[in-house]
Amino acid sequence: MKRKSFVAENPSILWFLAALALFTIFVTAMSEAAGIGVVSTSFIKTLGKTLCLCLIAVAMDIVWGYCGILSLGHFAFFGLGGYAIGMWLMYARTEIIVTESLSAAAIPPTPEEIHDAVATQIFGVVGTNEFPLIWAFADSLFMQLAFVILVPGLLALVFGWLAFRSRVTGVYLSILTQAMTLALSLYLFQNDSGLRGNNGLSGLQNIPYLGDVPQSMISIAFFWASALALALGYVLCAYVVSGKMGSVIRGIRDNESRVRFLGYHVESYKLFVFTLTAVIAAIAGALYYPQAGIINPAEIAPIASIYLAVWVAIGGRGRLYGAVIGAAFVSLLSSWFTGGGAPSIPLGFYTIQWTDWWLVLLGLSFVAVTLLAPQGIGGLFDLIGKKSKSEGAK
Amino acid sequence: MLRATLLVIAFCLALPAQMATAQDSPLQTLLQSQAGEVAKPGRRSVGVVIDALVAETPEGTALFLERWQNKGVFLNETDGLFYYAQKSGDGYELFDIATDTPVGTATKDELTEIRPNGGVRRVIGGALVQFQLSDPDKERRTAALDAILRSPDASQIEPLRASIEGEPDNALRARKERLANLLTARFGASTDDRITAINALSGTIDVDSRAALNQILTKSASVAPELPQDANIARVLTVGEDISQQDAYAQLVDAGLAPERQTADTIKARLSDNIVDGRVGGIPVGQLSSEENRERAYAALAQAGTVPPLVTDETVQAAIATHAFFETYAESDAVITTAAETALSEVEARVARNQIFDVSLDAISLASIYFLAAIGLAITFGVMGVINMAHGEFIMMGAYTGYVVQQIIPDYTLSLVVALPLAFAVTFAAGVAMERLVIRWLYHRPLETLLATFGISIALQQLAKNIFGTQARPLTSPGWLDGAWVINDVVQIANIRIAIFVLALIFLGLILFVLNKTRLGLEVRAVTQNPGMAASMGINPDRINMLTFGLGSGIAGIAGVAIGLYAKVTSEMGADYIVQSFMTVVVGGVGNVWGTLAGATLIGGLQKGIEWFNPSNTLAAQTYMILFIILFIQFRPRGIVALKGRAAGD
């Protein structure tokens, strides 16, 4: 009997890809770059960033919704990916500026002088003028792109190996991952961490060698790149959780011991899922921060990773489209409320300003979702299409 | 001089009229011999008068110096004599400067107030010190000792020693003896005296003794073609080990023994100064973007004599090789410096031992804060297996309760007495409400408890921000908790930290008592081990869970008041402690009060220990500590105190 392809097994993939393609084309057509300008450049950036958040939410859904590992540290990988690409962006752009200003002198600068001047320019704020060792390859786009994958991947591999090997599970693992991301952000907050302490890396929205290209074009390019990454990531994740491997992964979620007694090497499966999702998170981060323009250690504080879990839970765990819906819905709603978009509610004696009350609403609605609708928004689709095969957690 | 002459003339003219009140004391006579300087003292020249006064010390000198310094001395223009004066009615009443007895009156026009400037007042003050050492007023004597310590001087040894005999106050006498010893060590007349004094210093620990020893051992770096024979050399420096090549050469340059090295910037400046027709030294400017071409161009310029020749690495090394680098003591006597080095190393060893003690005290204090913050969590997480991410917000709630109570009750002690039980009540109620409304529906889904309580946590945090604003609110501790318990110059601990330590001890005892000796504790332990069996024995698990959760939350509230006294009250203060608290519980071992204590001690001790090695960087200390904990859990996944047998669950 011929095995069904994973796409046929999970028709939501095609629906999702079609919706994403339509959305991308529609937004592009409405953008300033296309001459219509209904959608502003800054909103395109917000949408592009949201797509990146959807991508990391899909990764989170694999690791939590399908494999049962509640990782509270995936934003650390996201941030590391951002830092890796940010190093190149900042180095290359500063080098161009410095070369230009030094060329005005009577004597042309030597490569060493340019290098030193770039270092002073970048690290002046943290009181040093030398490149730390980790910037050794910052001038090479290829190397930094490799680091986007290698650094978070290796960190996840080592951390996961240590944790799964000693069978740290459940809430202990959650706290351990939270400790990891806290340690990383505290380390990066130091001025001598080599990544500019709490100043972080900035000016990332200016892409080197593309100084003449307007931001409206760049934003569209990143929007497309984010959409493409999300589509590929979605298909990859759908593939991973399909077939026999998907069954084992879901088995680990439902009862780890039984899967182990059936002869599967549970640790390897978990390590694979953990590392793969870390790499996906890092790629999402590498696409996110050039659109955000700035990255600093506060971005990878433990709270960010908890929000990630919140998105996935609200969207509905154990279904990939649920993660996408949750991330898009909550993060867009959040920027609408905190950006002052929502109208205030006058109560006579007190006016509810949403910038102040949005977090209260979010927190409480989150409690409500956990208590009353554990399937999240994605659960609605189950109600509509009764016959659809539920993959969700019970 | 003219003024003095005029004064003498004035004195002669006024003589018949003032005869009755004329003073004839030795002090007045002495002052009259230097009348000009007394009336208008200068910082450099006033020393003559003061030396004469100190040498003879006529009756009333101390009082005179003091009044002189404080602008209390007047010159009577009519007789040219010096008086103390006091305003009475339109005129002034005059007092004899030697005996301070009334001797007549004068009008305002007749008197000139003597106003020494700041510099002169300091010189007078210096001389005054030795008189004040035997002053009947204890505060004056203490001030005099402080003044000596600020600017020690060889001349102070004798008066200080003389004053020790008559010192009635024991503490002050001990201090005088120590100070005399310090002065002798630095300025003593004979080598033997100084060495005795230095050896006595080796038994001390205070900052002043260390400063004195360091003063004796003041070193300066020097360089010479050969090691001098007569100097007291502290050590010979080896270039490359004790001193970098760069610094060594800079010393040679400073000493005028070698030409200055051209930096890349100066070379560049010279090159750009000498551009001729787009070329420097025959090399086109466009090619100067490499080091070699720049060196060639500079060499060409040097050849032509336009610029000084380049100092190369070889010349630098040759210059360094032919010179000796060493440190010399400012003190020329080698016997004394050796004794001082020995004494200093002994003192430093003692200081290090005391510092370890001090760090241990700090660690205990930090551990008790972590313990207080974590013990409530240990009950809810350890005993009930419930992750409460809002635990930190209960701490914050307790702290804000304390703040609100302080707004209503102004007396700090009383408000603290009210705030502690009130904080417990408020957070107990909040905990029970949360258990009833949210957590009891999620007992079988622990990961979701984590997320639901996180939702409550962000809601509570934002709520606190909306009510109390974003800026930190003060929770003032009562006066008796201010200050510190000072054991010696190295070891001291703030009273508030002692109080927190005591509070932590009380709670440790209280919780052990409740869990082990009361009916409630018995039921809690029963429900923890097997809810079904406990229920069939007539225990209501719902009620027990509710009470346990309330108890854990209530303790968090009290911890909040304690932490608020020690740090500031902000809406984010709970979040600062939550991760540390989880670590404490996990490292210590879940489900055990002793485990929490062990975890808190380990984490507090570790953090302070790491900070001690790298005091400038608490962030790094926290990072390394968390890394350590991650590794620690590898080796003891169930914590330090792991439950065994059936209580361990799965």
Report which of residues B372 and B636 the model is more confident about: B372
Region B26-35: mean pLDDT is 80
Report which of residues B613 and B406 the model is more confident about: B406
Predicted pLDDT at A393: 42
| Chain A CB within 8 Å of residue B579 CB | yes
Give B501-538 pLDDT, tens digit per residue.
998 999 899 888 988 899 988 888 888 888 888 889 88
- The answer to whether residue A284 scores a pLDDT higher than 70 is yes
Q: Given an 8 Å threshold on Cβ–Cβ distance, is A108 in contact with B285?
A: yes
DSSP states of B20-89 as a string? GG----HHHHHHHHTHHHHHS--TTTTHHHHHHHHHH--TTHHHHHHHHHTT-EEEETTT--EEEEEEET
Q: Mind telling me how many Å the CA of B638 is from chain A's nearest CA?
A: 9
Predicted pLDDT at B54: 76
Q: Choose among A175, A186, A367: nearest Cβ to B582.
A: A175
H or E stretch covering B494: strand B492-494
Q: Mind telling me how many Å the CA of A180 is from chain B's nearest CA?
A: 7
ipTM of the complex: 0.82
Predicted pLDDT at B567: 81
- The answer to whether residue B402 scores a pLDDT higher than 80 is yes
Q: How far is CA B311 from CA B51, B267, B307, B315, in A?
A: 57, 11, 12, 6
- The answer to whether residue A344 scores a pLDDT higher than 50 is yes
Mean of the per-residue pLDDT values for chain A? 87
State the pLDDT confidence band at A313, using cuts at 50, 70 and 90. Answer: confident
Give B549-585 pLDDT, tens digit per residue.
999 999 999 999 988 888 888 888 887 788 788 888 8
Q: Given an 8 Å threshold on Cβ–Cβ distance, is B579 in contact with A302?
A: yes
Count the Cβ atoms, other than its own, within 10 Å of residue B426: 21
Unique residue bearing structure tokens 């409480």? A364
Buried/exposed B368-389: b ≥16 CB within 10 Å, e otherwise: bbbbbbbbbbbbbbbbbbbbbb
Region B282-296: mean pLDDT is 81
Q: Which residues of B touch A183 (CB under 8 A)?
A: 622-623, 626-627, 630
Report which of residues B620 and B1 the model is more confident about: B620
Q: Choose among A107, A187, A313: nearest Cβ to B272.
A: A107
State the pLDDT confidence band at B3, using cuts at 50, 70 and 90. Answer: low
Q: Which residues of B touch A267 (CB under 8 A)?
A: none
Most confident of A99-113, B239-253, B427-441: B427-441
Domain boundaries, chain A: 6-341+351-384
Cβ-based neighbours of B322, under 8 Å, separated by 6 or more: B225
State the pLDDT confidence band at B434, using cuts at 50, 70 and 90. Answer: very high
Q: Given an 8 Å threshold on Cβ–Cβ distance, is B438 in contact with A363?
A: no
Task: State how far the Cα of A215 lies from the Cα of A197, in Å rounded to an integer.
Answer: 28
CA dihedral sign, ordered A208, A214, A215, A216: negative
State the pLDDT confidence band at A223, using cuts at 50, 70 and 90. Answer: very high
Count the Cβ atoms, other than its own, within 10 Å of residue A371: 16
E-strand ranges in B225-320 read: 233-237, 279-280, 283-284
Q: Given an 8 Å threshold on Cβ–Cβ distance, is A171 in contact with B447?
A: yes
Amino acid occupying residue B351: V
Give B591-609 pLDDT, tens digit per residue.
778 888 999 999 888 888 8
Share of residues in chain B with pLDDT > 90 (%): 11
Count the Cβ atoms, other than its own, within 10 Å of residue B324: 15
Q: Given an 8 Å threshold on Cβ–Cβ distance, is B631 in contact with A162?
A: yes
Most confident of A208-212, B175-179, B191-195, B398-402: B398-402
Predicted pLDDT at A281: 96
Name the nearest CA neighbour of B347 among B174, B191, B214, B184: B214
Predicted pLDDT at B418: 92
Give A108-134 pLDDT, tens digit per residue.
888 888 888 888 888 888 888 888 888
Share of residues in chain A with pLDDT > 70 (%): 96
Amino acid occupying residue B598: A
Secondary structure class of B433 (helix, strand, coil): helix
Share of residues in chain B with pLDDT > 70 (%): 94
- Cβ atoms of A55 and A226 closer than 8 Å: yes
Cβ-based neighbours of B165, under 8 Å, separated by 6 or more: none
| Contacts with A, B 481-500, CB within 8 Å | none
Q: Name the token pair of B218.
A: 């003041």
Q: Name the token pair of B570.
A: 């902000």
Query: SS3 letters for chain A?
Result: CCCCCHHHHCCHHHHHHHHHHHHHHHHHHCECCCCCCCECHHHHHHHHHHHHHHHHHHHHHHHHHHCCCCCCCHHHHHHHHHHHHHHHHHHHHHHHHHHHHHHCCCCCCCHHHHHHHHHHHHHHHHCCCCCCHHHCCCCCHHHHHHHHHHHHHHHHHHHHHHHHHCCCCHHHHHHHHHHHHHHHHHHHHCHHHCCCHHHCEECCCCCCCCCCCCHHHHHHHHHHHHHHHHHHHHHHHHHHCCHHHHHHHHHHHHCHHHHHHCCCCHHHHHHHHHHHHHHHHHHHHHHHHHHHCEECHHHHCHHHHHHHHHHHHHHCCCCHHHHHHHHHHHHHHHHHHHCCCCCCEECCCCEECHHHHHHHHHHHHHHHHHHHCCCCCHHHHHHHCCCCCCCCCC
Q: Which residues of B touch A360 (CB under 8 A)?
A: 458-459, 462-463, 466
Q: Given an 8 Å threshold on Cβ–Cβ distance, is B630 in contact with A179?
A: yes
State the pLDDT confidence band at B431, using cuts at 50, 70 and 90. Answer: very high
Q: Name the token pair of B480.
A: 């008796």
Predicted pLDDT at A291: 93
Name the nearest CA neighbour of A102 among A119, A90, A117: A117
Region B354-364: mean pLDDT is 89
Give A191-203 pLDDT, tens digit per residue.
888 888 889 998 8
Predicted pLDDT at B56: 75
- Cβ atoms of B527 and B545 closer than 8 Å: yes
Q: Which residues of A touch B446 (CB under 8 A)?
A: 170-171
CA dihedral sign, ordered B624, B630, B635, B636: positive
Lowest mean pLDDT across A382-391, B35-44, B338-347:
A382-391
Report which of residues A272 and B451 the model is more confident about: A272
Which of the 8 DSSP states describes residue B243? Answer: B
Task: State how far the Cα of B522 lies from the Cα of B509, in Å rounded to an integer.
Answer: 16
State the pLDDT confidence band at B469, using cuts at 50, 70 and 90. Answer: confident
| CA quadruple A368, A370, A376, A382: dihedral, nearest 10 | -100
Mean of the per-residue pLDDT values for chain B? 82
Give A241-251 pLDDT, tens digit per residue.
888 899 999 99
Q: Given an 8 Å threshold on Cβ–Cβ distance, is B583 in contact with A105?
A: no
Report which of residues B490 and A3 the model is more confident about: B490
- The answer to whether residue A29 scores a pLDDT higher than 80 is yes
Q: Mind telling me how many Å the CA of B275 is from chain A's nearest CA?
A: 9
Task: State how far the Cα of B299 lies from the Cα of A364, in Å rounded to an integer.
Answer: 76
State the pLDDT confidence band at B272, using cuts at 50, 70 and 90. Answer: confident
Give A133-185 pLDDT, tens digit per residue.
888 888 889 999 999 999 999 999 999 998 888 888 777 888 889 888 988 99
Q: Choose among A306, A360, A365: nearest Cβ to B463.
A: A360
Return the biggest CA–CA distance within chain A: 78
- The answer to whether residue A388 scores a pLDDT higher than 70 is no
Task: State how far the Cα of B456 lies from the Cα of A178, in Å rounded to an integer.
Answer: 18
Name the nearest CA neighbour of B124 among B80, B74, B61: B61
Predicted pLDDT at B649: 46
Name the nearest CA neighbour of B564 among B472, B495, B498: B472
Q: Mind telling me how many Å the CA of A307 is from chain B's nearest CA?
A: 9
Task: State how far the Cα of B373 lies from the Cα of B559, in Å rounded to an integer.
Answer: 6
- Cβ atoms of B466 and B460 closer than 8 Å: no
Secondary structure class of B640 (helix, strand, coil): coil
Predicted pLDDT at A389: 47
Chain-centroid distance, C-alpha B352 = 17
Chain-centroid distance, C-alpha B178 = 23
**How many A×B Cβ pairs under 8 Å?**
150
Q: Which residues of A touch B391 (CB under 8 A)?
A: none
